[in-house]
Structure 1
Amino acid sequence: MPRSATDRRRRRFPATFLIVLAMALAALGTPAFATSPAVRTTTAADASLPCDIYAAGGTPCVTAHSTTRALFAAYNGPLYQIQRSSDRAYRDVGVLAAGGYADAASQVSFCAGTSCTITKIYDQTSRHNDLPISWGGYWKGPGPNGSDVGADAMALPVTAAGHQVFGVKVTPGVGYRLDHASGVATGAQPEGIYMVTSSNYTNQWCCFDYGSGENSHTDTGNATMNAIYWGNACWFGGCTGSGPWVEADLENGMFHTNTGSNKDPNNPGVHHPFVSAWLKNNGTTNFTLKYGNGASGGLTTTFSGPLPNGYSPMKVDSSVLLGTGGDNSPSGQGEFFEGAMTTGYPSDATENAVQASITAAGYGTGGGGGGTPGPLRAVGAGKCLEVPGGSTTPGTQTQIRDCTGAANQTWSQSTAHELTVSVGGSRLCLDASGQGTSPGTKVITWSCNGQSNQQWTLNADGTVTGAPSGLCLDVTGAATANGTPVQLWTCNGQSNQRWTLD
């Protein structure tokens, strides 16, 4: 039943003419949005979000899961739930405004000085198909009584339209699942699925999935699953390239095609920081696989044809899963930002319009959370910039030390020109102390605040300069000993002012 007007958790408006316009433009190959993703804002008046588009196409969403943004223009409820380890308290992370992006700042403050786990991913539809941590299955997870575990809430910081948000980093053993979900396709009923993931973190094992699985959490035979698999698996052997690829987990096999393997020389693998992955299955005669760059462009169809032998008609069960296989195979890994499942077999025009909505969301690896993280190495000393002892105390002066690969030596550069580090569940920025602009100013860590003394330029000559001062990041006294502090100093071309961000 629809929620009342006072239920802020799940509200949506009927689809409007804007959705139809977006679909028509996408079908013509015309971008549905002219506004730059970096400045685009989403409000309840914007009816071009994925599940509004699916509804307008006659294939409504029956699940809508995301930790980054609303998937309905009118949605104004929680996106996901987190629990912090220090006191076991819970918090729901919602959106900044109806139809908008996640309020990640509430997570950052809630988790400061401790660690947090994603314990539930809310369904934005009125069906309440929320995903809790899976209780396990035939393959046992690493949690209590063989259950799976939740993802580290701070492990996947990214941006969407310049807003800091967090994805779900599925490491082996992480899994979410709801059995007997409401309204999802079962048996041979048609179904569409998409998710936004990444090429940055994959493996060849079973199974980083999103879609339909068995309520029993055991393998109940061919055709009892219909889920997107994303990874490097070549289940049937003889694949072209090394992946990762979009595949269909139909149980007892991840299928690139109806015969199993990928023989397409034009499909050796998909490599984008953000990838949209697509599967639709009419239950009897056809399944289709597609992918897209989650930041720009349209969709590529890698297969559309008959179901594999022995898989028609489908016998899909009503469990919804994320991160594991149908029998709880827990060894896959991947990243998840958003996804939805539909009733019916979505049209190409509908999927093209949803892809336009994804690219308009403005996913990026900078701004609030970081690009690909790595060590910031001091060339002259051959050592790494670190936060001493992994301190979460704002004002801690940074120093150099032998490179260990630890979190307190792992930095990310954002599109906002910040250099960020995540320690003890806290995200901190490299900061010129006291907004100083004179030689000798201490370089510290501080809570990220967007001010210019937290903006840095990585120059082609290896220097790192502060935005307001133009001074160079400098290892004090050109020393090479562990514990040498770092400061700002007049740029002089010496090796103690040269850095590499690996």
Structure 2
Amino acid sequence: MVRIYDQTSRHNDLTIAPGGGANPTADQGANAAALPVTAGGHKVYGVYISAGNGYRNNATNGVATGSQPEGTHVNNRCCFDYGNAETNNMDTGNGDMDAIYFGTLCWFSPCAGGPRVAADLENGLFAGGNGSSTANTGRSSAFVTAMLKNNGTSTYAIKDGNAQSGSLATRYNGALPTQAGYDPMTKQGAIILGIGGDNSNGSVGSFFEGVMTSGYPSDATENAVQANVVSVGYSKSVTFPVNGATYRLTNLTSGKVLDAVNCGTANGTPARLWMWLNNTCQLWSIAP
């Protein structure tokens, strides 16, 4: 999958992310057939992010910048993000990002539960307040609604919900972090998916649909969005793995992938963990 289309008039399409400060090599596109689900009774496809996959748009239209206001396949690596990031693929400092993170990485100890929705504001995944918030106990439903809003100068909020039923839970609603650089925010307006602001691409996660707003939405608006999402009726379409699809088998601790030594294909070829080399020696199919 080389392009994810923005269906609004802004046309902020996402393409495969270039290299950045954390990983200078360009990312890979996700397998377009790897995540089929049912929504509204129709078969649709999400984006199945493996380590090394990522999407980005550094030249966006209408995305908040500076201090303007904004709007079980997981791991503990950085960073399964969706949202506002730097326009040069580098970590340029605190407050330069405003992205939703979902995963089990605990940046500010102590953490509770997980996986959890957190705010990636650059140089920190904030569960609430100044980083640690044990009230943010996570969300383990099969489909998760994740919301982050940030008025850029004083306040941010984190909410999550079961995308199949029920209402949103407010995990944090209060002041921006007091560490230097976050108040006011200095957002730059790029859009990322599945990576961190500096192309940190060791994360995994599943993405179905998202929206970024300019402005600070009301609780009533967010509740209406959650009700609409629930009404669609997300459900699993097929059992993983997908017949005929190929996958990178990634060690979640090291970020390295399963590799056939010297691209061998004969019986008895040894396998090893190795860095991702962007070749077929590291792609595997799994019999359903």
Q: TM-score range by the shorter chain?
A: 0.7 to 0.9
Q: Does the Cα contact within 8 Å between 1:213 and 1:319 map onto a contact in 2?
A: yes
Structure 1 residue 317 displacement after superposition = 0.4
1:156 corresponds to which letter in structure 2?
L
Structure 1 residue 373 displacement after superposition = 5.6
Q: What residue in structure 1 maps to residue 20 of structure 2?
A: 137
- CA distance, structure 2, for counterparts of residue 173 and residue 373 of structure 1: 19
With the length of structure 1 as denominator, give the TM-score of the two structures. 0.48
Q: What residue in structure 1 maps to residue 70 of structure 2?
A: 191
Q: What residue in structure 1 maps to residue 98 of structure 2?
A: 226
Q: What residue in structure 2 maps to residue 370 of structure 1?
A: 238
Q: For 2:55, which of 170, 176, 187 is the aligned residue?
A: 176
Q: Among the aligned pairs, what percent are the same residue?
A: 53
Q: Does the Cα contact within 8 Å between 2:10 and 2:61 map onto a contact in 1?
A: yes
Q: Does the Cα contact within 8 Å between 1:201 and 1:333 map onto a contact in 2?
A: yes
**C-alpha distance after superposition, 1:392-431 (max 9, x if no partner):** xxxxxxxxxxxxx9622x2xxxxxxxxxxxxxxxxxxxxx
Q: What residue in structure 2 maps to residue 294 of structure 1?
A: 163
Q: Determine if the alignment matches structure 1 residue 125 to structure 2 residue 4.
A: no
Q: Does the Cα contact within 8 Å between 1:187 and 1:316 map onto a contact in 2?
A: yes
Unaligned runs of 5+ in 2: 243-283
Q: For 2:77, which of 193, 200, 205 is the aligned residue?
A: 205
Structure 1 residue 137 displacement after superposition = 0.8
1:296 corresponds to which letter in structure 2?
S
Q: What residue in structure 2 maps to residue 89 of structure 1?
A: none
Q: What residue in structure 1 maps to residue 141 of structure 2?
A: 272
Q: What residue in structure 1 maps to residue 273 of structure 2?
A: none
Q: What residue in structure 2 maps to residue 215 of structure 1?
A: 87
Q: For 1:330, which of 186, 197, 201 is the aligned residue?
A: 201
Structure with larger Rg: 1
- CA distance, structure 1, for counterparts of residue 200 and residue 230 of structure 2: 31
Q: For 1:303, which of 164, 172, 175 is the aligned residue?
A: 172
1:162-173 matched pairs, under 5 angstroms: 162-173=41-52
Structure 1 residue 371 displacement after superposition = 4.2
How many pairs were matched up? 245
Q: Determine if the alignment matches structure 1 residue 151 to structure 2 residue 30.
A: yes
- CA distance, structure 1, for counterparts of residue 155 and residue 107 of structure 2: 20
- CA distance, structure 2, for counterparts of residue 254 and residue 314 of structure 1: 15
Q: CA RMSD in A?
A: 1.5
- CA distance, structure 2, for counterparts of residue 305 and residue 187 of structure 1: 19
Structure 1 residue 332 displacement after superposition = 1.0
SS at match of 2:211: strand
Structure 1 residue 361 displacement after superposition = 1.0
SS at match of 1:128: coil
Unaligned runs of 5+ in 1: 1-117, 193-199, 375-404, 411-502
For CA contacts below 8 A with separation 6 or more, give which structure has more relative contact order.
2
Q: Does the Cα contact within 8 Å between 1:158 and 1:371 map onto a contact in 2?
A: no
**C-alpha distance after superposition, 1:92-130 (max 9, x if no partner):** xxxxxxxxxxxxxxxxxxxxxxxxxx1100111111100
More helix by share: 1
- CA distance, structure 2, for counterparts of residue 119 and residue 305 of structure 1: 38
**C-alpha distance after superposition, 1:42-64 (max 9, x if no partner):** xxxxxxxxxxxxxxxxxxxxxxx
Q: What residue in structure 2 maps to residue 317 of structure 1?
A: 188
Structure 1 residue 284 displacement after superposition = 0.7
SS at match of 1:191: coil
